[in-house]
Amino acid sequence: MRACSSLLVLLLSHTLNLSTTFTLAPTLSTNIPPFRPPTALNVLEHSRPKVGAPMPETRPKWFKVPAPQRNVKGSKFDEISDNLKNLTLATVCEEAQCPNVGECWSGGTATIMLLGDTCTRGCMFCSVKTSQAPPPPDAFEPFKTAEAVTSWGVDYIVMTSVDRDDLEDGGAGHFATTVKVMKEKKPDLLIECLVSDFRGDLKSVEKLAKSGLDVYAHNVETVERLQNFVRDPRAGYRQSLDTLEHAKNVAGVYTKTSIMLGLGETDEEVLQCMKDLRAVDVDVLTLGQYLRPTERHLSVVEYVHPDKFERFRAIGEELGFKYVASGPMVRSSYKAGEYFIENMIKKERRAGEERVIITQ
């Protein structure tokens, strides 16, 4: 008992000491309001998320999303829904129960999910169904996907997938084929692939990175300390960073990742994660609020206030990210963010072409 009491005192002392020592990194401007340090209660009780743990009493008022325009003649939402159904294509918008499905589909875009709707991993935040032996991939899926996307008339599309550890290359070849078919049908289409870590297989990473895609995306999901509580044991913080770094090094593509907040992370841990991502030259970062999909998944530890998301956005830009989307309802695949990235890529490529002309 004495040892436990001593440990409690030590934890409290360390926590209280944070209130006097916690500051932003010295390289950041001083006009950004400082974060409040974690309290003793947060460190002792909310250090990590748990299944079945008490949830915050009420969902804050800032969680409001527009309802999709269903059954409205000519609505883009129903058009995309019917199109996906007819071609038997899955979307992460539906499978992961994304709260922005109404906004994105009504705006004419969806995130296509390749390789089926069954994942070989079991992350504690995700509602996608799992199995160690999912059905084999549809060999015609790359062609059906290209047909659907080109019919929507969009200039930027996101493709993602479940983890397929049962496939030798993790599905990288299937992705690469899909990218090539889409580029053949519409060469100026910008393609983002949000993919798994391919079990750390850098050959698979390289195969996809060199396929002709424009943005290579892979999510670290959470800060380093919480990885084992949030993600499947086969995933890993360093493994994720390595895949993002390798994609950049071998293909020079834009790289992108996402962090969920509200899982018990501290502000200092988020800042360190952001620095780690910049150390491997990640270009785009999204930060959003974790929402529990079902009672069988991790409980929300905290609903993070929009002001804190805004601070993280400002800090991210100062750290050198080309674009940071940060807000409670932001998701890794999000229409507003995709619009900005699309314009950023086009602008930078035009500038590069102009420099080539001048030097000639």
Distance CA 168, CA 201 (A): 10
CA atoms of 314 and 310, how far apart (whole Å): 6
CB neighbours of residue 266 within 10 Å:
19
Please tell me whether 104 is known to bind a ligand. yes
| Structure-block tokens of residue 5 | 């009491």
326 is in an annotated binding site: no
233 φ, ψ to 5°? -55, -20
Residue 69 identity: Q
What residues contact 349, with CB distance under 8 A and at least 6 apart? Answer: none
Whether the CB-CB separation of 80 and 69 falls below 8 Å is answered with: no
**Which of these, 44, 35, 24, lies nearest to 301 by C-alpha position?**
44
Q: Provide φ and ψ at 256, rounded to 5°.
A: -145, 145
Task: Name the H helices within 153-296.
Answer: 172-185, 202-209, 227-230, 237-251, 267-279
Measured CA to CA, the distance from residue 138 to residue 140 in angstroms comes to 5
3-state secondary structure 188-208: CCEEEEECCCHHHCHHHHHHH
How far does the chain reach from its first CA to its final CA, in angstroms?
78
Instruction: Output the DSSP codes for 97-144.
Output: T-TTHHHHHHTT--EEEES-S-BS---TT--S-B-SSPPPP-TTHHHH
126 labelled binding-site residue: yes
333 is in an annotated binding site: yes
119 marked as part of a ligand binding site: yes
Number of H helices, E strands in the chain: 13, 8
> Which residues carry a binding-site annotation?
93, 98, 104, 119, 123, 126, 333
Which amino acids are annotated as binding site for [4Fe-4S] cluster, given as ranges? 93, 98, 104, 119, 123, 126, 333
